[in-house]
Chains A and B, each alone.
Chain A
């Protein structure tokens, strides 16, 4: 599974702005345990690999029949950080490619800035980003995509492109197909399943939180029990089948049997998600990537991810049609509210992308801290 190939992430973020720290201080605050993805990819960028991905995108843009497909990519270089703009002009024609932004900011500073602008109302960092890496305002009527090859964590909204898409796929054409699919498919009467990883007993609390089960770190058990009841109430209201797997294999099998939407709201410790039960189940990105979701469910995923551990990519590799996930830490109650609203909107007949857009427009935290990944199938 470690053979990444050339996964390009198409992420959709509707309203995110990113900034850049001016002094280049090399600290990225989330220094949790190394994650699967971090170990795999290294914490810093890999300029050669980034360039390889950029070249792939260029060749795919050149092969597209449609003109006016624009892809922006953040590309670290010897003088700092650059933003590359690439645009298709029709099959057989040369693409347009130019560096539209260049800043002396370091990779580490860029990462900090990206994290900072995920906080609402951060004028300071927004201004720095806007001033340092202004993007041209010439994409009216074009389909704009963003590429985050180095997992900086930005979204189109970071660069004030609220309707653009950041999407990862081995094939750009497939990515475009997926965007259309998520914009049009009706899941009003589709099957929904959910897994809510909240401890309900002191034994489960201990298994989920391990050495941090003192009640001072993750809050009291009673509150988690309340969250579980909220989750099951939501599930009943939105006709969601609650999954209670008893083993890792069973959990993956259950995911693979779904053909609609799976809501996963769960505790994560770095690159390990924990499902409470009689026997605690842990799932890593590696476990998920090895699975096969033949019916291509869409995944609604909420868990704490201060750094990207690769869960989104893993679900796509397993066969999910798309993943809407959060970044940073998230409170269980906020996650459940988003899940309820998402399922309400989709049940009302709104296509998945429109439902996500609507939630992002109303909720700054959703807008700034969530992203949508789409893949083939």
Chain B
């Protein structure tokens, strides 16, 4: 698999690519950790969302939506495909499948997946159905994720 042979991009390289692909965003790299904030409007009729990417020194990304408040938009409903309803951390890929590995470029993977997630979120707000596909983990795996 090419993915495993590809060299792991450094935090600096990941950051440079984020800036290149999303010139409107802002962020920094510190001790190998990346913080990146950018605006997302998944369709021309969509809201403009502020997203934040936090990548730890081992290259593992977490993506959050900072505004608008998705909880307020969804009322009392539980938002699908979130690791955390309060922190609004998005589930964007299936772990262990190679969809995401630390050798992949953040700007080409989790960043566009965030756009997709938000489009399906807006659709879900109206239809109450998640049309983006995906997998919900079994309960015990959910716990593991919380522990991690």
A joins B in a complex: no
- Chain B interfacial positions (CB closer than 8 Å to A): none
- Chain A interfacial positions (CB closer than 8 Å to B): none
